[in-house]
Amino acid sequence: MLKRNFKLCLMIFVMAGCLFPATMASGEPSDQPVKAGFPDVPPTHWAYEAIQTGVELGYIKGFPDGTFRPNDPVTAAQFIKMAFMSLTDDAMGFVWWSEKYLDMVPEWNRRWLNNKTTNFEEGTPWYKNYIDTAKNNAFIHDEFDGRFDAPITREQAAKFISKLDAIFRGHHIREYSMLVGAQLFKDFDQVDLYLQEYVGDVALRGIMIGSKGYFNPKGRVTRAEAAKICLLLMDDSKRAKINVNLEGVPYSIVPNPGYGTMVMIFANEEMKSVYDEMRSRQKDYPGATDADGGTLGYFENEELRDEEFRAFYFMDIENWKVRYDLSLGFSGNVYGMGVATAEGRLERASREIRHFLSLIFEKEADSVYRLIESAVLNARQGINEMVEKTVESRQIVIVSHGDALNIGISAYRDK
């Protein structure tokens, strides 16, 4: 973390023209008095509150002629800086993430935000540190390289805002975001395929909801829109309430560690039913269990469960090992199983494995269990193998890695 004298930070901040430097529009932004407002942003303007809030907090400025120019576009660099600065303060004597927002972030994500690769000072060029911070936190990749001074489109902004807000308020699974985008926007098919989930996600978050059923994905983000987006990024109480129609959709409300819960959409009704049934049985497991999104975990004791949690979320690669007895995954259209091969683990989890298999196989659950048992026993003898079979029109793949089996069983029967 780079600490700098507050006065020096403020000087750099003002000299650089704040969010909207002169390279983007004629005339350099100035310290337009807040109370005076802007003649081109009357109190009746739809973004009046957002613009005034941004000016009051210092991440937006007007121009020397006293105007704000709400319809001018913003560049990718300007937009990224603005979003970042709306979530920061200088309470510690230098510009950093606001404690208000840091307190919303689980410890394992907070440590990534509070590292030496985060920097909210001007660089060379002026936007370098903001872009580097965005890349280091995977909010962007290389999509703006060579084009940081080009206007940012609404679909591009959606991706950045989706990833940024997810750090503070948790993520949504792709299937849910895609469902929302398709329901809300008549022009959803005009969004670039790799950006569709983000467009749906920012709508689900109530930050970018489009107008009259259209998102306008290729449209440029204006200064007024950027101000409104940042106001909603800061204050979720001001966000739009989105009504999502989940009638007929196979979903469950599942745990989202560190953030509460989230909507999990399953490939079909069977997968939802199996998930719900297996999760309801976890309380009776002769050990410890957890539920993390669409994955259920089974452990010998709480110590191993907690070690696994820390190893995964804190990316403790040096202590990476198989601690579970059994894991069941329900993402996509495949049931994913992890079965530990160490002595006693299969035996402890056998009841749950058998019950799980009985829910998806009508007659052959026992024979599939014997396949798994055989692979475990072979692994204990140092024999790793790969087994591919079709049972009751479902594909099964079993891969042994010594200390665990990775098993995939199709959620759909082959037609």
What pLDDT is attached to residue 92?
A: 83
Q: Domain boundary at 190, 209, 238, which?
A: 238
- The answer on 174 and 74 residing in a single domain is yes
Burial letters 319-356, b for 16+ CB under 10 A, else e: eeebbbbbbbbbbeebbbbbbbbeeebbebbbebbeeb
Mean pLDDT of the region 289-304: 96
- 118 located within any domain: yes
- The answer on 332 and 212 residing in a single domain is no
Name every residue whose Cβ is closer than 8 Å to that of residue 35 and which is 6 or more positions away in sequence. none
Neighbours of 6 (CB within 10 A): 14
pLDDT band at residue 415 using 50, 70 and 90 as cut-offs: low
To the nearest whole number, what is the mean pLDDT of the chain? 90
What pLDDT is attached to residue 14?
A: 33
- 245 located within any domain: no
What beta strand segments (E) does 332-376 contain?
334-340
- The answer on 181 and 67 residing in a single domain is yes
pLDDT band at residue 36 using 50, 70 and 90 as cut-offs: low
Mean pLDDT of the region 7-30: 36
- The answer on 311 and 357 residing in a single domain is yes
- pLDDT higher than threshold 60 for residue 135: yes
- pLDDT higher than threshold 90 for residue 117: no
- The answer on 142 and 174 residing in a single domain is yes
- The answer on 266 and 171 residing in a single domain is no
- The answer on 308 and 210 residing in a single domain is no
- The answer on 264 and 231 residing in a single domain is no
What is residue 329's three-state secondary structure? Answer: strand
- 112 located within any domain: yes
Q: What does the pLDDT look like over 379-389, one tens digit per residue?
A: 999 999 999 99
- The answer on 215 and 286 residing in a single domain is no
pLDDT band at residue 7 using 50, 70 and 90 as cut-offs: very low
Q: Domain boundary at 238, 267, 283, which?
A: 238
- The answer on 177 and 305 residing in a single domain is no
Q: Where is average pLDDT lowest: 29-38, 251-260, 320-329, 342-351?
A: 29-38
Number of domains in the chain: 2
- The answer on 357 and 213 residing in a single domain is no
pLDDT band at residue 62 using 50, 70 and 90 as cut-offs: confident
- The answer on 255 and 228 residing in a single domain is no
Name every residue whose Cβ is closer than 8 Å to that of residue 97 and which is 6 or more positions away in sequence. 87, 88, 113, 114, 118
Mean pLDDT of the region 59-76: 93
- pLDDT higher than threshold 80 for residue 325: yes
Name every residue whose Cβ is closer than 8 Å to that of residue 306 and which is 6 or more positions away in sequence. none
Q: Domain boundary at 238, 272, 300, which?
A: 238
- 157 located within any domain: yes
Using only the alpha carbons of the chain, give its radius of gyration.
26
Residue range of the domain that includes 109: 6-238
Q: Is there a contact between 113 and 137 (Cβ–Cβ < 8 Å)?
A: yes
